[in-house]
Amino acid sequence: MTTAGPSILACLPDELLVNIVDHVAAEWHGRRPLCMLALTCKFFQYECEKRIYRKIDLVTTKDLRDILEAFARRPERIASVETLNINYDSHKDIHETFSERQTFNECVKKMVALKNWYAESPFDNFNWNENGGREWVEHDMEVFRRALEGACLHADDGKLSSPVDVGLSKLEELTIHSHGPSSDFWVLDGFHCLFRHPTLRSLHASCFKLPTDIPELEPYARSTALETLVFDECFLMPKSLGRILKTPKNLKHLTLGEVVYNDRRTMFPQPRLTERPEASVEALSAVAHSLETLTHLDPMWKRSNGAVYKQHHIDGPGLRDFHHLTFLDVDPCSFLHQFALSSVQAPPHLETFRIHHALHSDHHDHSFFDLFEELPNFEPYTALSELKTLEFAQAGSLDTEVARTDHICQEDALRERHEYAYKLSKHGINLKIFLQATFQISLVPPYLHNEPAPSLVCVYDAAKLGFRRHVVDVFPLPEHETETETDKLNTRDITTYRNEVRRALQTVHDEMARIRDDSSSNQDFFDDYDDDDDDEEMDVEGDDNEFFDLDSDIHGLDDESLDAEGWFDGDMNVVFGSIEQGLLGGGAVDQEVLRALAEQLGGDGEGEVGGEGGWLELDE
């Protein structure tokens, strides 16, 4: 009997083997090649698993049992997760997944490499009163809160300390969409830990209520790395907002999204910030030294009775100390709009000023100000000495009249628009007009998984159209006719303009329709996996490279503990993450395996696991 010679892999340095794994991951852009490479030896298994488990998308609760099985067989896989997206689809039996969800949530607390986390309640969009909605708030969200709290800064004896190498301690981006136990909004309460995380750089949170004050944040001034903060449909209070804005060292991008659309339970809008402009600008002053972009979504326009551009004086310094602020996006009724129009209160280096008009459900309402029909007086904006671009954005649903090409491109309105832009150009300001297109009038913030977010469609750009042209409408042009600078448009300009807008609207409509109608929401965890055994790129039997040969006898590498169990069935199908139906016997989880995972995560392995109340009930 002839003994096989040493494998070529035994002669290669580890650095080169790692490069091989990186090449396989990049070349085929998927996990299936990595899974096959992982079967060759222990070294490759370890390196491949770090990449296979780097990103987890949980788009259905059916994924839970499979991923728990994989974690149970080798708990160290949990430490490889860098990106986690939790957006379970809602279904009538989702309350029955409570135990599996709590088990997985405890795994989140062990994800020491996690950098990007997206968490969305499956009970959103008016489902919070369904069976299981309260449990999401009181259990799932509570586990998330404890996990975040364990990774946050703590003030001890006047000194700040931060945990190292614990779950979520490397978190950089977090998006969280939730609700209350029986309402649209959730109360911040102990979630002030969101603003005490030492490494978090981007936070997007929706539909919560700030308390009047958050004194717990006082010791954490200028202590966090937060650079981008988005409040989305939130009840904001000036004093507690000020506490939050004092915690980052250098906040650069801020969106103040008040409750504009989710106010069905109130008779009147509640613009908390514009009603108290002095207190609000005092809160913002905490980030005056670093803020570069500022957006305010304000419900005050609902009280305006059409007078959205009415100017009035507000005492105080305004935004004049915001020397790094170059982009401002506000509703015309916002207190920030008033500051920007004051020569002594405006940000001194503002380059782009966008005024947006929110989505209006009734365009026949007398209070509806349509930017496609009229524009406000341009003169106040010319006082901004460093302004380069003035933008107007009209929100409109693609299924309404306001978003139709014939409405946007009315000939008389277009000619007036160009004359308006010409006057601005004499002050060195370019005019842009956008349609902030939404797919349907019923789609409102926050925009959840598989909901097409609004798209800014440029429907007028003065710099692109230009002001030099032949003003005559005859063709061919008369001899010696030359282009002149003018604020007029000829018929050909208008026709070309309409066609460009029509194409742009059709493109964004098609893209949004594709997202809305996408039936692949329950994609495989391995999104590029297929059953084609004849795939030429992955034809193992025909591959001459020894390290892809699953039957090769690899010497010189420790493969004694190579464990493929829990990865593949006999046909090389991956066994977790909503892969092939029935691979785990109809989704049944090996209770002994889960018991082992429970012990690894801190349970006692007997009956209920995870402390009082437990987070996993094991079947006997």
pLDDT at residue 86 above 70?
A: yes
Under the banding of pLDDT at 50, 70 and 90, the label for residue 566 is very low
Q: Which of 42-51, 254-263, 354-363, 445-454 has the lowest mean pLDDT?
A: 354-363
**Res 132: pLDDT:** 73
pLDDT at residue 548 above 50?
A: no
Interior/surface letters 144-177, b for 16+ CB within 10 angstroms, e for the rest: bbebbbebbbeeeeeeeebeeeebbbbbbbbbbb
Classify residue 616: in a domain, yes or no: yes
How do strand 55-58 and strand 228-234 relate by DSSP bridges?
unpaired
Cβ of 335: how many Cβ atoms within 10 Å?
25
**Res 490: pLDDT:** 83
**412 and 490 part of one domain:** yes
Classify residue 157: in a domain, yes or no: no
Mean pLDDT of 462-477: 71
**400 and 440 part of one domain:** yes
pLDDT at residue 158 above 70?
A: yes
Q: What would the two tokens of residue 64 be? A: 């839970």
Classify residue 154: in a domain, yes or no: no
Classify residue 76: in a domain, yes or no: no
**pLDDT tens, 169-220?**
999 999 999 988 877 899 998 999 999 999 999 999 999 999 999 999 999 9
Classify residue 546: in a domain, yes or no: yes
More confident residue, 145 or 32: 145
**pLDDT tens, 376-412?**
999 999 999 999 999 999 999 998 999 999 999 999 9
Under the banding of pLDDT at 50, 70 and 90, the label for residue 539 is very low
> DSSP code of 360?
-
Which H or E run includes 230? strand 228-234
**578 and 540 part of one domain:** yes
What is the signed CA dihedral for 89, 229, 340, 322, rounded to 10 degrees?
Answer: -170
Report the distance separating Cα 196 and Cα 225, nearest Å: 9
- Tokens 């852009």 locate to 29
**Res 469: pLDDT:** 67
Classify residue 607: in a domain, yes or no: yes
Q: What would the two tokens of residue 364 be? A: 């026949």
- Give the angle subtended at the CA of 418 by the CAs of 481 and 486, to the nearest 5°: 30
**467 and 559 part of one domain:** no
**369 and 506 part of one domain:** yes
Cβ of 126: how many Cβ atoms within 10 Å?
11
What is the signed CA dihedral for 602, 605, 611, 614, rounded to 10 degrees?
Answer: 120
* Per-residue CA distances from 101 to 121, 125, 322, 604 (Å): 12, 20, 45, 19
Those residues with Cβ within 8 angstroms of residue 270's Cβ, 6 or more apart along the chain or in another chain: 235, 258, 259, 263, 299
What is the signed CA dihedral for 187, 170, 23, 72, rounded to 10 degrees?
Answer: -70
**DSSP-based three-state secondary structure for 457:** strand
Q: What would the two tokens of residue 407 be? A: 């409405």
Dihedral-angle region of residue 566 (phi above 0 means left; psi in -120 to 50 means alpha; beta otherwise): left
- Give the angle subtended at the CA of 63 by the CAs of 60 and 65, to the nearest 5°: 135
Q: In which domain, by residue range, is 504 found?
A: 351-520
Under the banding of pLDDT at 50, 70 and 90, the label for residue 364 is low
Classify residue 497: in a domain, yes or no: yes
pLDDT at residue 526 above 60?
A: no
pLDDT at residue 30 above 90?
A: no
How do strand 159-161 and strand 154-156 relate by DSSP bridges?
antiparallel
Classify residue 31: in a domain, yes or no: yes
**490 and 389 part of one domain:** yes
**Res 183: pLDDT:** 79
Report the distance separating Cα 169 and Cα 111, nearest Å: 9
**494 and 570 part of one domain:** no
Interior/surface letters 266-286, b for 16+ CB within 10 angstroms, e for the rest: eeebebbbbebbebbbbbbbb
**355 and 452 part of one domain:** yes
**471 and 555 part of one domain:** no
Residue where a domain terminates, one of 477, 494, 520: 520
Under the banding of pLDDT at 50, 70 and 90, the label for residue 522 is very low
Under the banding of pLDDT at 50, 70 and 90, the label for residue 588 is very low
**467 and 488 part of one domain:** yes
Report the distance separating Cα 503 and Cα 501, nearest Å: 5
Report the distance separating Cα 576 and Cα 580, nearest Å: 8
* Per-residue CA distances from 547 to 7, 34, 262, 533, 552 (Å): 8, 12, 57, 19, 8
**506 and 427 part of one domain:** yes
**502 and 598 part of one domain:** no
Q: State how many domains the chain has.
A: 3
